[in-house]
Each structure stands twice: as structure tokens, then as C-alpha cells.
Structure 1
Amino acid sequence: MDTFFYPDSIAVVGVSSSPSNLAQRILANLRRFRYAGKVWAIGPRDEEVEGYPLFRSVADVPEKIDLAVLLVPAKNVPQVAEECGRKGIRRLIIESGGFREFSGGESDVERRLLEVCRRYGIRFLGPNCIGIINQENGLCTPFTRPIAPFVEGGISVISQSGGVGLSHVMDLTSEYIGLNKFISFGNGLDIDEVDLIEYLGGDGGTSMISAYLEGISRGRDFLRVVSRQKKPVVVLKSNTQPSTQRVATSHSAAISGDEDVLDDAFRQVGVLRVPDSLVWANVSKQLTLPLMKGNRLAILSRSGGYAVMAADAASQMGFELPPFPDGFFDACRQYFEKSVITLQNPLDLGQIIFHPVVVHILEETLKLDEFDGVLLIYNYDAQGAPDEAHQFISQIMPLMYRYQKPVTTVLITQRHERQYIRESYALPLFRTAFHGVQALAYSRDAVRAAERRRPFETEAEPAAALPQAAELVASWRKAGRAPTVADALELLQLYGVPMVRRAVACSRDEALEKVEGLKFPIALKLIHADAPHKSDVGGVQLNLKDDYGLITGWDEIAKAASRARLAGGMECALIQEMAPQGWEMFVGVKYDPSFGPVVLAGSGGLLAEVVRDVAARVAPLTREDAAELLSETRASQLLQGFRGLGPADTEAFVELIVAVARLIIAHPEIQALDLNPVIVHPKGKGLTVVDARLVLKPA
């Protein structure tokens, strides 16, 4: 990968002197960024462009070429790649468009390109991209109109869209937040976001990775790579709605997965997901400052109204606002009269008009162990006496780094004054109290994510299924039938999942015979291939207390099957002992096209789909993963005890989540699995799975 970013020589292919030629802009940008390596221009005519003589082919260049940038018609790309391969060039940036973003799928041109690159061992970025900017050596391959070098810093930006990514870079550098590298990878036909994040994770010049993605094709590899990062990874992910997927496909060939799964998968490995470009820029700015290492926030404001807004935002973001300690004002007494300030947090500094006093208050606040960071709301009229304000603002960055706590500055003044502050002090500025608090929340979450981040192991558990379980699944396949609730429970029991005693009967008389081995009260559940959700057709009878109740329940389910016009009527039924009372929970599995098997857990029962109180993790799971998953549901609070009810056996429920994750890894043929309800009993009493639904992938 180093050759993409640190080539000693570059060939730009597709250059001409035509005013509409885009490749000549690449030459201009390389010149403006003062790229130090050799540049070779390749074009069809004998002429000179941007001071570079043109060669007809890379084969005509007399020296070795490390990297070739291709901007030729899509149909010609495989031929040019072939010429590069013969020349010994092993790294390409293909900026040409007209591939799957137009066709909607792999085209013949793509197939030929991939075949050529495999034959020569070529790796390439693109197609349909604008390439790379490396501030360290002046490499700049975008075909945009000539741009000037950016402010240098530690942020590296990855973007599926060249336009979005470059706009983000401009947003940051306009606020004097420095860039290290920029990569637009377009369709990601070869090098993709996983490769780039892995590379930047080990790149010495990159301190933070910021990405715009429209889809993630290798979800499990993405989790594996990100989970090993020691740098913050911030992602703006679009293409979130079905109505936008056609647009995204035509733009960058991105296919979107389930957004709820994506949110939880990101949380699993500590990715900071942002909702829009404004928050993306704000969070990137914030993470260049010392991190918010706790949840205790001090708010200093020169306006009482803004202080109230900030307190509202802090509450919304889950921050604590501890009071200032009693001795705080003693340390500041020489600078102001205590009578003009209310001793509280937020601290309203509105009556202090002498700016140097605010410096001392800020420093004394940063010294306090009671606070992990400061939100500073500073408003003034630049037409007044701005010099004192400038003296104060000049102290913010030194104080911040002296005490290693963030001071997030919301500056409210005239536009020209804000620009002057950015230029003079390189201080990240925020426009509103809400945006400042929100940025601090992301900083806090970045610390938390780093503390709990664990490597995601794609093969953390043995993949081999139990022999008896494998035979059971094979028998369903051989019979060509979908597994029933009884089948699902049998498979689960083989893996040690607790459940009540049960039997299957296919007639009323057989039911009366088999119930003799069970203990009343019992439950009776319809088994029919066309009724996977038994309750929806009246196929469940509960708390049947004796044989007469069993007969009555059987007849009621038979009538319900007839009303629902189920083929063959009531075929068979599952007879179960009633489980002891407890909390009704849910554990499930779904298969995500990008991330593979995903385990979900949360509130269960008949209203599970309405309540939608679930969280998810990508399998396999550690016990810590399962516990975190549960903690993100509202039901977790109920399981701790509620309105006189003691705590539930959450330990047993966490173990069930882990067991289901193991099962789904052992049985990749499973498409979906629902355990609902799972009755979680009081602490120390375990749990019982009383119903399950299992769907196999097509053979």
C-alpha cells in the first residue's frame, strides 16, 4: 500500500492539451502541491502539457514507474492496465467512470480489468474516483480544478464519493484543522474501505480516520480491522433508505444493509457514526483536542440564556453537571466579587466584563478534579474592545493542553471576527451550544469505545457443529421440509438450551396418550408449515389444566386452522409443560448480507415486533459483547428489578445469547432463528425457552 501514497514516480495516462481534458488537471495539481517525484504524462499526440512532454504509451517511458493514474474512457481501461502490467507497474489509480455505477452490476469491462490485474499482480484504487492527496510529499491526483495545498495535520479522510470527501477536507481546513491524507476510492472494485482503514491504522502521520461510506461490502473484515485500531474512526454512512439505494447504486455501486444492524455493529467495535456532514466536521474538529475522559462537564458562559441552552443539551447527551466545590470561589476571590455570580454549574459569567478574569476562572475550573472537560460559551461584540477578548482566546489552547482536558469553545460574535480567531489562533470553534455539547459527547464516547474495544475474531469459536445436530439439520434438508417449532427446540436442546418438557402429537388421541408423561398445566401449539406465527391464526392454547382442557384446546386449534384455511387443517401440535412465571424476553438471529450472522436480544412476547426493544451484535460474541448488547435495551432496566419485583437471572440470559451466537457460527445454513418468548426467572433460577422459529437458507 505504501506505493499508492509514497511513489517515487507517477505516470498520468489520458492527457491532452484540449481545454476539456481532465487529466491535465492532475498534472496541474501535482505541480501546485509540489510533488517531489518524477511525473510522466501519457497522451495520444506529440505535444507538451503543463510543462510535461507527452509519451504515447507507458511503454515509451525510459524509466521505472511506481504508480499510474488512469483517466481514459472506460472501454480502454483494461488495455491500458495491460500496458502497465507489461511495463512492471503494479499500482494503479483508475479515475475513469462508466463501470457498475451505470450498469448496476459487474460489466464485461470490469471482468476484463480484474483478469488483467490478477495476471500481473496489480492492485488498484477505483474506478470512478479522484484518487489520493498526501500532504507529506505533495502527491495530489484529483482531476478537480487546481487546488492549493491544505493545512497539514493528523486527520486522514477516506471517501467513497470524491465530492463529499473533498468538501469535508475543505470544511476542516477552512477552520485550520489539518489534513494528512485524503483517499477517494469510488466503486472499491479492488482496494476498498477495509484495506484503507487497515493501512491508515498503521500510518505514522494519521492520528484520526474519518470516512464517508455509502455501503460496506466486507462487513466482517471491516469489524475485524476496526476493532484493532487504536485511533478514533469516525464514519458518515449514507444510503440509509430504500428510496436512496437506487441513487447510491448509480453513484458508487454501493449496496446498503440493515441500518439498525449497522448501528449496533459500529457500536460493537467502537466506530463513531455521525448523522450528517455538519456533525462529521464538528466531531472531527473536537477529536483534535484533548479527549473527554469522563462524563462530568463544566459549563462557563457569558450569557445566562446560552447557559440554559447548554444545560438542556448536556442533559440530552447524558452529561453530569457537578456543582463547583465550596472552595472554588476562594481561589478566584481576588478577581471578582462573589455576590455577582451564582454558585452553580452552568456558571454565568455575564457580569464579568474584564476578560483577564475569565482566564483565571477557566484555569481554576480546569484544575478541578470534579470536571473532565469544559464547554465555554464566549460572546462579545468585536466592534467594542476586542483586544482583551483576543488575549483571553490566545490562552485557551495552552490551558487545554496544560491540563489535558477539552475546552470546547462556542464563539458568538461577528463573522469576520470568527474568521480572524480561526486564522490567528487555530482554535476549533462551534456555532451553537448544542453543537459544542454534542461534539463533547462524541469525544467522551471515543474514550469509552477505546476502553472497551476488543478484537473481533471471525473464527473465535469452533465452527464444527455437534454431530447429532448436523444429522438433524441434514434430515430436514433430505425431507425437503421447513423445520417446525418442535425441530427448532430439539436443535436448541442439543446445545444445552434450557426448556420445558414437551411432546409432539398428530391426533387428539395421541395427545391424550403423550400428555401422561407431562405435568399439568400444559400449553398446546399448532405445528403447520403455513403458520409460522401460530398466535396469528389462533394456534396457541395456554394453561390447560387437565385432559378435558387438552381435548377442548385441541378442538379450538383445529377450528382455528380450518378458519385460516390451512392446507390439510390441523396436522400436529406441540404439547409443553407451562414454564414458571418470569420476564418475557427475545433472542434471535438474522443473516445480514454484509456482516453475516447477527444476534439480537431484547424484550419478547406477543408485542416484541411492536415494542422493537432490541439490540444486536455480529457473531461470534464474547460474554462481554452479550452483556453490552443487553445493557443497550430498555428491558435491561426491568431485569434489574422493578416496582417490588426482584432482579431477574440476567446472567443466565447473557449465557443464552452467547450460546445462540455459538450455534449460528456452527450452523451457517441457518438464515434466521427466533427464540420468543424466553422466560427469564428470578435471579439464580435460570430461564426457559418456550417457543422458537427457525428458517434455513435455500439449499
Structure 2
Amino acid sequence: MSGPSDLQGTSRNAVLKRMMQPKSVAIIGMSTKPNTVGHLVLQNIRANGFTGDIHLVGRSAGEVDGLSIHADIADLPEHLDVAVLSVPAAGVSEALQGCISRKVGSAVVFAGGFAELGDKERGEQEKIGQLARDSGIGVIGPNCLGYNNYVNGFLVSFTGVTKLPRVAPGTSDGVALVAQSGGLVGHLRLALLSRSVAVTYSIATGNEADLGLGDFVRYLIHDEATRVITIYAESVRHAGSFLQAAQEARAHGKPIVMLHTGRGVRAQEAAKSHTGALAGNYAVMRSKVERAGVILVETMDELLDVSEILSRYPKPQKGGLGIVSFSGAFCSIAHDICEDLGVEVPSLSPEIEAALKPQVPAFIPPKNPLDLGTQPLWQPELVQIGVEALLSDPAIGGVAISIPPAAPANANTFIQKIVAAKSKSDKPVMLAMLGDSSTLPPEFMDTARENKVVLSRSSDRTLRAMAKVVAYGNHSDLAPTPRAIPFDEMHGMTSGTQPEWLGKKVLSAAGISVPQGDLATTVEQALEIANRIGFPVVLKAQAGALAHKTEAGGVILNLEDSDNVRVAWKDLHDNVQRAKPGLQLDGVLVETMSPRGLELVVGARRDPQWGTVVLVGLGGVLVEALQDVRLLAPDATESEILCELDKLKTAKLLYGFRNIPPVDREAVAKAAMAIGRLMLTHPEIAEIDVNPLMVYGKGQGAVALDALVVTN
């Protein structure tokens, strides 16, 4: 999880401050030929009133707009703040070395032709990153479109000459855009501006040979005009740095809203050709970033909607979603959508219900969702009464409102009542004014803009956005976790896949229950063990190279007596030799047959990008077919694990289903915690897979029936 951006703290922020707010600039690759990239960069810098020093370097001496062109980077003064490299890919390394020799603080690399093309070019990109790390220069790119600072009015761009609109002095609710796509940044900015949301920065990070998402997050945390950091990512290249920065942003009260592509294979391939991103495991990424407090969204609509809501309501509160509508049909639709999204629609508290009941007509039940029907046409005050009531309920963290098309006079009255209601609470409110693209009254729009009402034309979008915001409000900040202590009496393991018997000794030392049994190398030993532990027993062939014992005929179950064991001993060895000729077994594991329970899987592995992740889910033969699993951090608490278990698609099985009694969820959590602790304290362990973990009734524990441990 290490990477270029592990150089953290004030020194990295100082580099970025020099880049974003420079007092001196060099443009490398300048030509006297007009309308070239260097010319556009220079025109943009000057069009926005830059008053610092500008230096030009080209292949040959000359003059552009009254500025001399130096023929050598060595002619530049030392300690310039930023150098813009307008050179082809083949010339980037040499130009960067020249900048380093002149002690330039930072550099922007426009050129493509690096990791997005293939492994050879990826190697050249890595050399650029190494140069940056060794020297301390901050490099954005390669393959990027530059950046815009709307706070101070400075931009580095070649896509046209633009006079930047600066954010108003005193702005504190702006949204900063950071993306691995320059084209997408432009769309997001225009969309937010159309909603009267201030945009403070737009930064296209490109291939991120050096500066990464975590670095820009840390810089923006301390920007007073920025309230929300909105990110589009195709790969978080320096995952450790980003997760730490995300936790810092959460601690500073600055939400990060992120759209990360790559849920499917085709999206991963597209990202690879775009920015040279090596596709990571999306599920692992999700578990890590959401735990760090990042709001991970799945669509561009959600990215915009959630960013706008949080720019208006920076401190969402704990609780479920309140819903106000004029339609019973929408209330039913809302319940379905919220159930799919996993967002709670809580009942009103008895106190709020009692307070609301005398204020609404008898035929309007005071509940959540609150269906006001058509009555607001005659009693528009009901809109304010209903919204205020739901906002005042401690169990509700935010309110979604859905109103059908209305006559202009009615629509204007409704928006005024909503503004009055939301002014009495800092809980987030979002309004869906239905009617798709139909025209809304000018007075309605003016009132909405002046009062910063978060407005949508889709109830579905409103519910999905509010579900993300409510989940963010309910997110528990990570408490510092004590350092994991290694387990005593760990058994020595060689490199590679461990045989089951040795893996189970490791699990047993970690406090995870395993069946009674022992390893036998002769049939006489097998009989002695079976008689000692009691029949029925199971025989399992043991060798590190025999990962799939069942397929090889290396597992024989339900042996009731000594005669069965003798026959099974011979059969097992014959089966294994047919399947794996010449394989030398460590022996045969003789264990008690465990009673039936609920089969779950618990495991862990080390992701090359994101680090260690623990897995819990439905086990047995269904684990691959259904893939009903949840991913966790290795230091997850018992409450975190129990919460994730309840998010399984088959979670109802945990609480009793037909002839299956409620199971010992706490025992599952303790097993997952033990495996996480193993991974944290024994870096030589690469992977653990316990499948099945047989879980019994409440208070009766869980037993690891099979165990796979892989070491480096």
C-alpha cells in the first residue's frame, strides 16, 4: 500500500500550495509558432491576471509576447514554483531532470504516451515517479489536462483560453473537483454551477506518477472555501495515502464523495486504456474507502446530487429517512426503493405522532412516509407542518419531499412553505418537483435558488441521493484501535499452501474452535485416534499440494467403527494416488464428525493495492455460486462485523429459518476478529480460508471444519 504519495504532511502541502498559488512559473517547450500548447498556457496565465514571474524555455531562443525564450532549462533561476512541461513523452524525463537541477517546486506533465499504452511505457512513467520521489518535486500527470484554481484565479490548461470566474470572497460551501479525467471535470463543474453551487478547484490528475488523490485531498482539507471534495477515480493508485487522507477529511468535517469505476471487467479494461490504471478489486476498494468515511456513489447523477446536498448541509445527523409526499403511490414506491437501498424509513416517535395528529385532517394518518394527499391544495400550510414534524423527530436524519406538478400559484406557495420548514433545522432536505422537464414557474425557481433548496425533477434520484447522505450521517468515526498482539504458541510454517492439519493448529492457537482429532501416519494410529475421540469420524488426506481433497477422493465421512476406518484408509490412499500419482502425504487427519449447523465462510487475504481484508459470508459449496459475502478491515470491531453479517443477502438464515434455529452470530464475529488479528501480526500469512465455519445455535459457538492457510 505504499507509493509516491507516502511523503505526507506539511512538506507535501507546501509543494501543492506552490503549485496551486504560484508566484513564479516556467513553461518548458515554448515555440515561437502561434496557437501551440505553450502559447495557450501562457495566454491562460496572463488572461487571469497573474502578476508573478513567467519564464519560457524552448529548443531555440526567441521571444513571445515580450518574454524571452531560453534555449536551456539551466538558464532558469532557481526555486521557481511550478514548471509546465509542454513537451512530448520522449522529452519529459530530461525536462524534469532539468527542473530538478534548478530546484523547481512542482511540475505539470501534459504529455500522454505512458502507462495507458502498455507495460513498456508504464516503466517510463515509473521512472518519472522515482525522479519525483528522490528529489521532492511534486509532479501532476502525465497524461493530464491541468488544473483550475477558482479561489485565487490561476489555471494551467491548453484546451482554450478562459477567464476564470472566481468564487465570491467569504465562500465556505464550495465543491472541489478532483478527477482522473479532464473531460469529466468540465461536465461536473458546469452541472454544479447550474445549481448555484460554487466550484473552488477542478484538478485533472491524469496517470498520477507522483501526486495522487490523497495529496490533493490533504491540500483541500485546509482550503477554507471548500466544503466538499468530489472525486472521479478509475484506480486509487496510492491506497494507503488516500485512506489516511480520507480519515483526516472526515475528522475535519469535509465529506468526500467519490465515483469509482471498475465494477465490471469491461469498465476495468476501459480505465486501463484511459489512464493506465491497473484494475483493482472493486469490492475490496468499497469496503476500505467506506470504512474511512468516503461516500461511494455509483452514478454521475448521484455524484452531483450528493455533492450538492452536502455543500448545503455539511453535518448530516444520525437517523433514517423521512418522506413527505402528496401521493400514496409514491409512498409505496419509496418503501420499495429504500428497502433495496438498505435505508431505514423509521416510524414516527410517539411524541411527534401525538403532536402532528391534531394539526392534520383526520383522514391523514400521522406517519412516515407522510402522505398529505391533495389536501395541501386547500391547506398549503400542511406542507410546512409535515416537513417540520419529520425534521424534529430524533429518529430521522433527513427528509425527502416529492410533489407532483402544480399550478404556478400552488407551486410557489409550496416552495415557500418548504423554505420556512427547513430553516428551523440543519438536517438535509431534498425536493423532487415532478413533471420531468416541464417548465417550473420563474418565481418558484428564484425562491429555490435564493434559499439554496436542493431541487430535483426525479423522485428516484432524490431517494438515492438522500440514502447516501443519511448513510454518511450514520457512519461511525473510527476509534483508534490498539495494536494487535501476536498469539502465543504459533506453529512454524514453511512457505506455500499449508496442509489442513497445520492450518487448524494455527487457528486453534488463535482461539478458533476446530474438531477434535489428530494426524495419523499409519492405520493403527488412525484407529487409536478414532477410539480416543469417539465415532463417527472423518478421514482427510493431508498434503500442502492437495488443496482440493474432496475432488481427489481424499475425504471419507461418517465412519462408524474400526472396520470402516480400515477400509476407508486403503480407499483414501488409492483415490489420492489415482488423482495425484506420486504425491507424498503428510498423513491422514482423523476428526470427529461435526453435527449439522449453518455453513458460513470466514477468511482473509492481502490485496496488493489495498492491504489486508477479511471476508465473512455464506459458505459451503454455495460461496462461489451465490457470492454472498461481506468484506471487512482486519481490525474491525465485533459490532462492525455483526453489522456486516446483517447485510448479507441471506442474513435471515442467521436469525432462524424453517428448521434452522438462530445461530451464534457473536461466535462468527469472534472468529473473524481472530483471523484479522492473525493477518495483522503475522505478515508471512498471505491468505486464510475457513470454509465451512459450521455455526451452531445461539451461545453454542462455531467450529472450523476446513482450513486453508497460505504463507509467503
User: Which TM-score band applies after superposition, normalised by the shorter structure?
Assistant: 0.7 to 0.9
Deviations 1:623-645 (Å, cap 9, x if unpaired)? 44444443433565434444576
Deviation at 1:227, TM superposition (A): 3.0
Conserved 8 A contact 1:82-1:116? yes
The amino acid that maps onto 2:625 is V
SS at match of 2:377: coil
**Is 2:279 the counterpart of 1:263?**
no
Residues in 1 aligned to 2:305 and 2:455: alpha-carbon distance in whole angstroms:
9
Deviation at 1:440, TM superposition (A): 0.8
SS at match of 1:97: coil
SS at match of 2:621: coil
Match of residue 358 from structure 2: 330
The amino acid that maps onto 1:365 is A
Match of residue 196 from structure 2: 176
Alignment of 1:289-438 (within 5 A): 289-290=312-313, 292-302=316-326, 305-317=329-341, 318-320=343-345, 322=347, 325-328=353-356, 330-331=358-359, 338=361, 345-353=369-377, 357=381, 360-361=384-385, 364-365=388-389, 368-369=392-393, 371-380=396-405, 386=408, 389-390=411-412, 392-393=414-415, 396-397=418-419, 399-413=421-435, 414=437, 417=440, 420-421=445-446, 426-438=452-464
Conserved 8 A contact 1:648-1:682? yes
**Is 2:311 the counterpart of 1:285?**
no
Percent of residue pairs bearing the same amino acid type: 27
> Aligned to 1:46, which of 50, 54, 62?
62
> Aligned to 1:189, which of 200, 203, 209?
209
Match of residue 453 from structure 1: 478
SS at match of 1:453: coil
Deviation at 1:561, TM superposition (A): 3.1
The amino acid that maps onto 1:300 is V
Match of residue 182 from structure 2: 162
Alignment of 1:101-112 (within 5 A): 101-105=116-120, 109-110=124-125
SS at match of 1:632: coil
Alignment of 1:439-478 (within 5 A): 439-449=465-475, 451-454=476-479, 460-462=483-485, 469=491, 472-473=492-493, 476-477=494-495
Deviation at 1:588, TM superposition (A): 1.1
Alignment of 1:515-526 (within 5 A): 515-526=530-541
* Bigger mean CA offset, 27-36 vs 404-413: 27-36
Conserved 8 A contact 2:324-2:387? no
**Is 2:705 the counterpart of 1:677?**
no
Residues 536/351 of structure 1: CA separation in 2 closer, same or farther (3 Å cut): same
Residues in 2 aligned to 1:418 and 1:158: alpha-carbon distance in whole angstroms:
35
Residues in 1 aligned to 2:598 and 2:451: alpha-carbon distance in whole angstroms:
57
Residues in 2 aligned to 1:483 and 1:307: alpha-carbon distance in whole angstroms:
55
Conserved 8 A contact 1:309-1:434? no
Match of residue 8 from structure 2: none
Residues in 2 aligned to 1:631 and 1:305: alpha-carbon distance in whole angstroms:
29
Residues 62/4 of structure 1: CA separation in 2 closer, same or farther (3 Å cut): closer
The amino acid that maps onto 1:655 is K
Deviation at 1:125, TM superposition (A): 1.4
The amino acid that maps onto 1:330 is P
Deviation at 1:445, TM superposition (A): 0.7
> Aligned to 1:511, which of 519, 526, 547?
526
SS at match of 1:229: helix
The amino acid that maps onto 2:389 is T
Conserved 8 A contact 1:588-1:675? yes
The amino acid that maps onto 1:407 is V
Residues 350/57 of structure 1: CA separation in 2 closer, same or farther (3 Å cut): farther
Alignment of 1:42-121 (within 5 A): 42-43=57-58, 44=60, 46-49=62-65, 54=69, 56=71, 60=75, 65-105=80-120, 109-110=124-125, 113-114=128-129, 116-118=131-133, 120-121=135-136
SS at match of 1:200: helix
The amino acid that maps onto 1:6 is Q
Residues in 1 aligned to 2:210 and 2:196: alpha-carbon distance in whole angstroms:
33
Residues in 2 aligned to 1:585 and 1:307: alpha-carbon distance in whole angstroms:
37
Deviation at 1:10, TM superposition (A): 2.4
> Aligned to 1:229, which of 249, 274, 291?
249
Deviation at 1:435, TM superposition (A): 0.7
Conserved 8 A contact 2:84-2:109? yes
Match of residue 10 from structure 2: none
Residues in 1 aligned to 2:508 and 2:388: alpha-carbon distance in whole angstroms:
62
Deviation at 1:253, TM superposition (A): 1.6
Match of residue 146 from structure 1: 161
Match of residue 483 from structure 1: 498
Residues in 1 aligned to 2:232 and 2:281: alpha-carbon distance in whole angstroms:
17
Residues in 1 aligned to 2:516 and 2:328: alpha-carbon distance in whole angstroms:
66
Deviation at 1:191, TM superposition (A): 1.0
Residues in 1 aligned to 2:471 and 2:304: alpha-carbon distance in whole angstroms:
16
Deviation at 1:520, TM superposition (A): 1.8
Residues in 2 aligned to 1:623 and 1:407: alpha-carbon distance in whole angstroms:
33
**Is 2:270 the counterpart of 1:241?**
no
Deviations 1:375-434 (Å, cap 9, x if unpaired)? 2223446xx6x3663464356456424311222111235555488557665433212111
Match of residue 552 from structure 1: 567
Match of residue 689 from structure 1: 704
Deviations 1:615-666 (Å, cap 9, x if unpaired)? 1123244444444443433565434444576543333332221211121223
Alignment of 1:25-40 (within 5 A): 25-35=40-50, 37-40=52-55
> Aligned to 1:220, which of 240, 243, 258?
240
Residues in 1 aligned to 2:333 and 2:592: alpha-carbon distance in whole angstroms:
57
Match of residue 335 from structure 1: none
The amino acid that maps onto 1:378 is I
**When the two structures are superposed, what TM-score results if normalisation uses the length of structure 1?**
0.86
The amino acid that maps onto 1:160 is Q
Residues in 1 aligned to 2:591 and 2:123: alpha-carbon distance in whole angstroms:
58
Residues in 1 aligned to 2:319 and 2:409: alpha-carbon distance in whole angstroms:
34
Deviations 1:203-262 (Å, cap 9, x if unpaired)? 433322221111123333433332343222221111333334343223212111222222
Residues in 1 aligned to 2:692 and 2:364: alpha-carbon distance in whole angstroms:
57
**Is 2:620 the counterpart of 1:617?**
no
SS at match of 2:117: helix
| Aligned structure 1 segments of 4 or more residues deviating by more than 6 angstroms | none
The amino acid that maps onto 2:245 is V
Residues in 1 aligned to 2:320 and 2:262: alpha-carbon distance in whole angstroms:
35
The amino acid that maps onto 2:84 is V
**Is 2:603 the counterpart of 1:588?**
yes
Residues in 1 aligned to 2:647 and 2:557: alpha-carbon distance in whole angstroms:
32
Residues in 2 aligned to 1:114 and 1:298: alpha-carbon distance in whole angstroms:
49
Residues 162/635 of structure 1: CA separation in 2 closer, same or farther (3 Å cut): same
| Aligned length in residues | 677
Conserved 8 A contact 1:528-1:572? yes
Residues in 2 aligned to 1:71 and 1:650: alpha-carbon distance in whole angstroms:
60
Deviation at 1:528, TM superposition (A): 4.3
Structure 1, unaligned runs of 5 or more = 333-337
Residues in 2 aligned to 1:253 and 1:242: alpha-carbon distance in whole angstroms:
15
Residues 52/264 of structure 1: CA separation in 2 closer, same or farther (3 Å cut): same
Deviation at 1:77, TM superposition (A): 1.9
